[in-house]
Structure formats: C-alpha cells, structure tokens
Structure 1
Amino acid sequence: MLTLAAVLLLLCPDAGMAYGHVPLPKPRPVEAPAAATPPSAEEADQQPGDSEPPAAAAKPEPKPAPQLSACRLALTEQIAIAPSIPDIHGAGGCGGEDLVRLEAVVLPDHSRVAVKPAAILRCAMASELTHWIRDDMAPLAARLGSKLADLDNFDSFECRGRNRVVGAKLSEHGRANAIDVRGLKLANGATISLTDRAASREVRETVLVSLCARFTTVLGPGSDWYHEDHVHLDLAQRRGGYRICQWNVWDPLPVVAPLLPAERPEEAPPRAVAVRAEEGAAPAAPQQDAAPAEAEPQPEAEPAPAETAKPVPQATKKRREHRRL
C-alpha cells in the first residue's frame, strides 16, 4: 500500500492533497530583498508616532573663540607682555571688557621695562601707556645717560569710588581705565621721580608735557591733596573731548625757612638787656659800650586840671543800687 501511494503521488502531485499533505514552498530567489528582522521588545512597546531614540548622546559643540579687538591684535609681544584676561563684571559697574595684564613693556632694542606690580587695564589704556614708555620715556632716559628698568605702579584696577570716598562716583580705576604712577627706575639705579621737589624741574616738566598730550586726565601735586605723592592717569571720555591736566611742578623748598629772622650782623650794636628790679637790689648800671647821647631838657608838663564832680542823677543812683543787689 505504501508503495502504491508513493507511485500515485509521483504520477499525480495533486493527489496528495486528498491525503492531507501540504506542498513545501519554493526556495527564495537570490535577488530577493532581505527579510525584515522582527522588532525588539523596546521597539514593540514604542507607540506609533514616537521618535526613534538617539543612538548616543551628542557632545556639546565647543564655543567659538571670541573675536580679538583691533587693540588686542596690535598689542603684540614685540611691544608689550600683556596677556588677555577674562572680562570682569562686578557690582556697581566695576570691571570692563577687553582686559589685559600688563607685565612689561618691550623697547625697540628688545629690552624690557617691568611694570611692578603688573597692571590690570583695558587694552586701550595699556596700549597708550606702552607707547608713552616706548616713545617718550625711553628717549628721556637715554638723554639722562641710562635706560629704563621699572615702572612704579602705585595702583591700577580697583573697584572703588573716586579717592576711595564712600558713596563717591565710580573711579576710572574701577573701570580698569586708570593707573597711578610714582616714578620710573633707571638701569643705573637712579629714579625719575614725578613728585619729588628735589628732582630736576626740567625733567618733571618734560614728563608733564608728554603725559598731558596722551591722556585725558592727569592729576598730580597741586590738584588736590590725594595726589601729592603720585600722578593719576586715565582715558576717561568726556563731553566735547574735555581734558584735565592739573599738576604743579613745585620748586625745591628753601634750605632756611623764610619766616625765621636773619642772623644779627657782627657790627650791630649790642642790644639793651632789661633787668627786673628786685626788692632791696640796686638798679642795674647802664652798659658803657656806647656813649649815651646828651638828653635834651624836656619842658615840664603842666598838671592837668582836676575834673569837677558832676551831680549824679537820682535815676542813675537807683540803677547802680539795683545792680549791687
């Protein structure tokens, strides 16, 4: 029977349907597209319309480097050692942008003038100070027979009011737009002091002219008692381009104070000495150094007539008695 059924199946394939046999599918062609993989459990739970989860967390893009100002591009290491520092935004408007830390000024011969201590300034202020040292002070030091070595920085950026007065208007120091200078040290050990009366007047006047030509504010001795030992410099912008230059180049103090009396010359006659007469003491004899001149006889003074007593009014007597009470 089995042999007969197999023969009938080969001769008539449709006959197998009668016996409950299902034909096998044909093999998949090579050029057919790949079968879709079944979705994972996470994909199966995802609702329709939901976006697909990212494959990996994207890294934040780095911030672009800030654009350098024209001042920053010009203030190269060939003329100054002044690295940039972050902007400062303090309370009450303190701080500023485009800031540098001026550490030294490079002269044309490549020598350096150290700024002690280093000054925190806006780039424009640092640039003007640098050119003042290179173009004005370096030639002055050469005329004095030496070279610049240090700049004495008394104060630069400081968040405070003017003259450190509480409640005063914000100083240009608080905007990093000012510097206080006391002097410049030379390589031979000498110093160009800006406020020393004993220093050369010609040198101090030369410094004064150069500073007032470059900076919008120059305050030194004579401006107020806050600036007697240093000179304040800033680039404050005012209406109409108004500038302030207040600095008195004082002369040296006299060796002898003019209020003291002059010394008595040797040929002057001796001074008469008054001696108080004590009880029982003989009067001092006059000095015999100089012959006394003969006294001219004086006319006898006539005695003054005695004033006649005037009667006192009764009302005046009562007032006097009332005062005594």
Structure 2
Amino acid sequence: MKFSAGKAVRKWAFWRWGRGQSGAAAMLAVLLLAATPAQAYLTAGRVPLPMPRPAEAPEVEQPTPADADKPAEPEKPAAEQRPAGPPPPSACRLALTDAIAIAPSVPDIKGPGACGGPDLVHLEAVILADKTRVPLKPGGTMRCAMATAVADWIRTDMAPLAASLGTRLVELDNFDSFDCRGRNRVAGAKLSEHGRANALDIRGLKFGNGQSLALTERDTPRASREQVLRSMCTRFSTVLGPGSDGYHEDHIHIDLAERRGNYKLCQWDVWDPLPPIAPLLPAERPADAPPRESAEPVAQTPPQPTPAEQPAAAAAVEPEVEVEQEAGEPRPAPVKRKAKAKPRKRRAEHPPFPIFR
C-alpha cells in the first residue's frame, strides 16, 4: 500500500495531538525551573540562624596549612586507649610459689628466630620441706614448667638421696640453661632446647659434709649415679650423658622436649672406675744400696755341637791328609772328584690313547 506523509496525517489524526502534547510538556518544565529559585528565596527567611558568638569566648586557633593537609584521625574506643598491662599469671606460675622455689618471673623472650618462649622464670633456689634453700649456682632462666620439674626432682629425689648418704643437699652445680644456639653448639644445626628455655645442664650435687656427687666421674660410687639416672629418666623427656653423642662427657643434659607419642630419650652410660695402671719405669735405686760390681769380660767360645749334630758335623768337614814327599819330587795335582749324578726320575708309562671311532 502506497501513501504519503500528508495522507498519513489525515488517516491517523493522533499525530497532531502528540505534537501538541510534547510542546505543552516542554513549556511546563520551563515554568517549574523558573519557580524553584523564587520558592527557595521565600522559604529562606524561615530557616533558624545560630546565636551570635559572645564577646568573652576564647579565640579559636586556626589550623596551619601543614595540619590542614593531614586527614583527621578517627577517635579510638576507650578500651583501646588504655595502656596494655602485663598478661595474667599462668596456672604454672600460680602453683610455683615461694614455698617451693625462689623463681621470679621474667618477661617473654621473642627471638632471634625461634629462640625464647613465654612464661619464663629465673630459678635461683629450691625450698625443701624443712625450709632449707638449695641454690642453683648460677641461677638459670627457663620456662615455668621446666623450673617446676627441676624443683620437684630436687625436693622428691635428690634430698632423700643426700639423707641416705648421711648428709644434706646444699647446692646444685648448674652448667648451662637458656642459650640461643643450635644443638651441641654446631653452626647451622637444629635449634637446641636450650634456645627454647626448656633445658638444663647439671654437673653435680654438693653436700653439707663438704663432699660432692660428680655425675660424670668414674670415681663416684656407681650406686649413687645409677639412682640419679633412674630419677632423671623418670621425670624428664631427654637425658644425655657420657656415651650418648660425645658432647655430654662432662655434664648431664635434661629437658622437657615434646615428641610424638610422649617418646623419651635416656642415654647415659654409668661407667665403672678405671683399673690401676702399673708404672712404666722401674723404681729408682735407693741411695743406701751397695755399689754394683763390674762383671769381667768372658771369652767367647764357639758353640759346641750337640750329640745329635756331631755325626753330621764330622761328615761335613773332611780332615786334610798330609802326604810325605821327597825333596825335589813334584807335588801331584789334586784329584777332582766328580759329583754323583742324581738319578733321573723315570716317567710313568701312560697307556696309548684309545682310538675313537
């Protein structure tokens, strides 16, 4: 079907209405925009204004350009503004009272690396049941759990051992405690339990009668050393002594290392005393000994053959026979004796080879 724009207007009359409506909408929008500033001006007089600043009010400091560039810091809650205090004491710290040991708390050690640890104390002395102090010389820094184990070991095992020997325990010889290092002081080795403040090295115990119990000396009674060995291996997870690895020949290492399945390591050879060694040189001649007589030289005689060797010696040596000869007679030439020919070995006759057909 063919038709022009004019025919379309006559056919669909609503086009005219549509064009008129769009013009009316545009006019209404212009009127609304013109009325908005006037309405804002009329309502501005009804907005309340602040009161004038009093004359006696202090002057407000104007921010400097440097402070104006900085962003405003948000206000922190009241809980965060309070200074952080020390953490509450642990259950171990509460149990390790002055009636058990003199062990003041030490701040936590963090680093370098994995060295240090939490809940540390400085064990200075152990208090026995009769209020007697057994000092550690020198004092050792260790974890509270390790200090508690050492105190219980001294109070329960070592004090009765000293009483069985007829004396009392007065001192513990401390060789090493906290030290941030590798195992056996080897460069690049795995961190030692000493670096975690979880170990103690002991050389011996000192008694009130002036004697001492050297744990690694062979001359120390074997029964006493074996009793100390059994008590250590029962209470601690690691016990290293002579014969373990060559690094603990002069002290005993104890720690509370945690292992899978609560595995314990107890390596300490309790050796017997060495046997007495005979002197290498003879004893010196006493001064009052009589002088030694010099022996006369004895003429050396050739050895005489034994009766069994006499026939063989006589056959080997033939006596020379002197033959008398007249003057001017020529001396006969010596007769050369022919050596007896050795009999030849007769070859065994072999049967003729069979003829294979």
TM-score under structure 1 normalisation? 0.66
1:67 equivalenced with 2:93 (yes/no): no
C-alpha separation in 2, matches of 1:250 and 1:64 = 53
Secondary structure of 1:124's counterpart equals helix
Question: 1:238 Cα shift?
Answer: 1.1
1:234 equivalenced with 2:250 (yes/no): no
1:283 equivalenced with 2:300 (yes/no): yes
Q: Deviations along 1:219-274, whole A, 9 cap, x unmatched?
A: 0011122111100001111112111100000100001269x89xxxxxxxxxxxxx
1:163 equivalenced with 2:163 (yes/no): no
C-alpha separation in 2, matches of 1:36 and 1:284 = 151
1:79 aligned partner: 100
Greater shift, 132-141 or 37-46, is seen at: 37-46
Letter in 2 for 1:84: S
Q: Deviations along 1:112-152, whole A, 9 cap, x unmatched?
A: 00000000001111110000000000000011111111100
Give the alignment of 1:287-306 within 5 angstroms.
Answer: 295-298=306-309, 300=312
Secondary structure of 1:224's counterpart equals coil
2:144 aligned partner: 123
Letter in 2 for 1:156: S
2:54 aligned partner: 38
1:93 paired residue among 106, 114, 120 = 114
Letter in 1 for 2:54: P
Query: 1:187 and 1:284, CA in 2 relative to 1: closer, same or farther beyond 3 A?
Result: farther
Question: 1:74 Cα shift?
Answer: 0.6
C-alpha separation in 2, matches of 1:87 and 1:64 = 14
1:113 equivalenced with 2:124 (yes/no): no
C-alpha separation in 2, matches of 1:181 and 1:237 = 20
Identity within the alignment, % = 59
Greater shift, 185-194 or 36-45, is seen at: 36-45
Q: Deviations along 1:251-298, whole A, 9 cap, x unmatched?
A: 00001269x89xxxxxxxxxxxxxxx9xxx942799xxxxx9x94413
1:244 paired residue among 256, 262, 265 = 265
Letter in 2 for 1:245: C
Letter in 2 for 1:65: P
Query: 1:285 and 1:154, CA in 2 relative to 1: closer, same or farther beyond 3 A?
Result: farther
Query: 1:285 and 1:81, CA in 2 relative to 1: closer, same or farther beyond 3 A?
Result: farther
Q: Deviations along 1:56-100, whole A, 9 cap, x unmatched?
A: xxx953423312111111100000000000000121211111000
C-alpha separation in 2, matches of 1:72 and 1:284 = 96
C-alpha separation in 1, matches of 2:307 and 2:267 = 65
Letter in 1 for 2:141: I
C-alpha separation in 2, matches of 1:166 and 1:87 = 25
When the two chains are superposed, the root-mean-square deviation of aligned CA atoms in Å is 3.6
Larger Rg: 2
Letter in 2 for 1:42: E
Q: Deviations along 1:26-72, whole A, 9 cap, x unmatched?
A: xxxxxxxxx998262536989xxxx9xx9xxxx95342331211111
Q: How many residues align?
A: 239
1:32 aligned partner: none
2:275 aligned partner: 254
Runs of 4+ in 1 over 2 A off after TM superposition: 39-46, 59-65, 281-286, 298-303
TM-score under structure 2 normalisation? 0.60
C-alpha separation in 2, matches of 1:87 and 1:186 = 34
Give the alignment of 1:139-158 within 5 angstroms.
Answer: 139-158=160-179
C-alpha separation in 1, matches of 2:265 and 2:307 = 71
Unaligned runs of 5+ in 2: 1-50, 64-71, 282-296, 317-338, 343-357
C-alpha separation in 2, matches of 1:44 and 1:224 = 75
C-alpha separation in 1, matches of 2:141 and 2:85 = 25
